[in-house]
């Protein structure tokens, strides 16, 4: 028997490196007329590296002690930023103390008790918004300085006080800019960036890939709201993401695609399709395959 067009398109997409979970999804891919992409781990490689350690004046921790506490708290997390912190500690030969009472808040960061001290690691904007005093001001200034350079700043608080700021830098995927150009041509609309990261780092990256519409500082539910708003305006939104924080938006989208290699299990399970080799250029390829198949079906 000849394979039905949507099934052979699925097989073809698989050869291109996109695992499409059903024929319905294969059909929907070609209907997308708007695209929303996550930043960290999606447009960037998601293997960020620690570049600087800034203990704050007044904290009793030096660079090494600060990194050791942050890495211990981040150890249970699967977030790419957590991996950067843990890898930096390992490269310096630090052994990680056990983390107790670990909690993780998507889009914000982690908390844990390490050697009897309460450690929080995460978004400076979110962790500092309720605090006041000289240390909070110093932390905000250090974070703003690093973010202006395009880094992601990560705050480390110890026993409720800001103790230091870590700078983390990530590389753009080599095919990110070309993919944005192709997606704009294919869908007839300019892709949108939805990110939990800070507005400065987001704007810098958007500039590099040619995205104009940037929504930064988003929590997972804010990404969902952005997608719903587009869908209520009549768009069929294709969402591309990798993280636990992207899962609700992937579920809300007309079609959700997850980055397979570095993607979280939840994103992979929630998405309708998975990019197996993490090549962004496979997304426009899959859209084209879907459209070809639909021409054959009707
Ligand atoms: P994106 O949407 O760009 O993938 P996320 O929503 O995953 O980003 O994270 C948003 C922000 O939350 C990060 O820029 C960081 O400040 C903070 N954050 C989240 N998880 C962690 C973590 N495990 N360690 C440090 N910071 C974190
Ligand atoms: Mg991400």
Neighbours of 171 (CB within 10 A): 12
Specify the pLDDT at position 296: 81
Closest CA relative to residue 156, chosen from 196, 112, 197: 112
Specify the pLDDT at position 130: 79
- Calpha distance 204→153 (Å, rounded): 14
DSSP state of 133: S
Q: Which ligand 1 atom is nearest residue 241's CA?
A: 4
Supply φ then ψ for residue 218, to 5 degrees.
-90, 140
- Calpha distance 240→129 (Å, rounded): 29
Q: Answer whether 195 contacts ligand 1 (Cβ < 6 A).
A: yes
121 CA distance to ligand 1 middle (Å) = 10
Q: Which ligand 1 atom is nearest residue 39's CA?
A: 3
Mutate to test the pocket of ligand 1, among 72, 89, 107 (most ligand atoms within 8 A of CB): 107
The fold for domain 49-169 equals Calcium-transporting ATPase, cytoplasmic domain N (3.40.1110)
CA of 155: how far to CAs of 71, 110, 120, 160, 163, in Å?
12, 11, 8, 12, 8
77 alpha carbon, closest ligand: 1
Scanning the structure block, which residue is given the tokens 């507005």? Answer: 199
Beta strands, E only, 11-151: 18-20, 34-37, 49-55, 99-105, 109-114, 117-122
Q: Which ligand 1 atom is nearest residue 219's CA?
A: 6
pLDDT tens-digit readout, 12-71: 999 999 999 999 999 999 999 999 999 999 999 988 899 999 999 999 999 999 999 999
* Tokens, residue 261: 């290699």
Q: Answer whether 46 contacts ligand 1 (Cβ < 6 A).
A: no
183 CA distance to ligand 1 middle (Å) = 26
- CA angle 217-37-250, nearest 5°? 95
194 alpha carbon, closest ligand: 1
240 CA distance to ligand 2 middle (Å) = 9
Answer whether 123's CB lies under 8 Å from 142's CB.
Answer: no
221 CA distance to ligand 1 middle (Å) = 14
pTM of the model: 0.83
Length of the chain: 298
Mutate to test the pocket of ligand 1, among 197, 226, 247 (most ligand atoms within 8 A of CB): 197
276 CA distance to ligand 1 middle (Å) = 23
Specify the pLDDT at position 178: 98
Supply φ then ψ for residue 63, to 5 degrees.
-55, -45
Return the CATH number of the domain spanning residue range 5-45+171-297: 3.40.50.1000
Domain ranges of the chain: 5-45+171-297, 49-169
Residues catalogued as catalytic: 38
The β-bridge partners of 153 are 167
Chain-centroid distance, C-alpha 273:
17
Closest CA relative to residue 275, chosen from 185, 173, 186: 173
* Tokens, residue 58: 């007044």
Per-residue pLDDT tens listing for the chain (298 residues): 678 899 999 999 999 999 999 999 999 999 999 999 999 999 999 888 999 999 999 999 999 999 999 999 999 998 989 999 999 999 999 999 999 999 999 989 999 999 999 999 999 999 998 788 899 999 999 999 999 888 999 999 999 999 999 999 999 999 999 999 999 999 999 999 999 999 999 999 999 999 999 999 999 999 999 999 999 999 999 999 999 999 999 999 999 999 998 889 999 999 999 999 889 999 999 999 999 998 887 6
- Calpha distance 94→213 (Å, rounded): 41
* Tokens, residue 198: 């800070």
């Amino acid at each position: 028997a000849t394979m039905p067009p949507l099934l052979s398109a699925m097989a073809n997409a698989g050869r291109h490196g996109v695992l499409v979970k059903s024929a319905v999804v294969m059909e929907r891919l070609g209907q997308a007329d708007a695209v929303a992409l996550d930043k960290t781990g999606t447009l960037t490689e998601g293997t960020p590296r620690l570049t600087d350690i800034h203990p704050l004046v007044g904290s009793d921790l030096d660079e090494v002690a600060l990194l050791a506490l942050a890495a211990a708290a981040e150890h249970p997390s699967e977030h790419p930023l957590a991996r950067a912190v843990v890898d930096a500690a390992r490269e310096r030969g630090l052994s990680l103390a056990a983390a107790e009472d670990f909690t993780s808040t998507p889009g914000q960061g982690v908390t844990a008790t390490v050697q009897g001290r309460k450690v929080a690691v995460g978004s400076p904007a979110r962790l500092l918004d309720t605090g006041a005093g000289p240390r909070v001001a110093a932390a905000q200034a250090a974070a703003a300085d690093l973010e202006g350079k395009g880094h992601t700043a990560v705050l480390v608080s110890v026993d409720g006080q800001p103790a230091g700021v870590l700078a983390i830098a990530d590389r753009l995927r080599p095919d990110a800019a070309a993919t944005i150009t192709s997606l704009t041509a294919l869908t007839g609309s300019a892709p949108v960036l939805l990110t939990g990261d800070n507005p400065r780092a987001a704007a810098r990256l958007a500039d590099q890939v040619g995205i104009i519409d940037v929504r930064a500082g988003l929590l997972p539910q804010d990404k969902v709201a952005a997608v719903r708003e587009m869908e209520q305006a009549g768009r069929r939104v294709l969402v591309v993401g990798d993280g636990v924080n992207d899962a609700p938006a992937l579920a809300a989208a007309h079609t959700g695609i997850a980055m397979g290699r570095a993607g979280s299990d939840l994103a992979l399970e929630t998405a309708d399709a998975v990019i197996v080799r993490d090549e962004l250029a496979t997304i426009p390829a899959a859209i084209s395959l879907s459209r070809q198949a639909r021409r054959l079906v009707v």
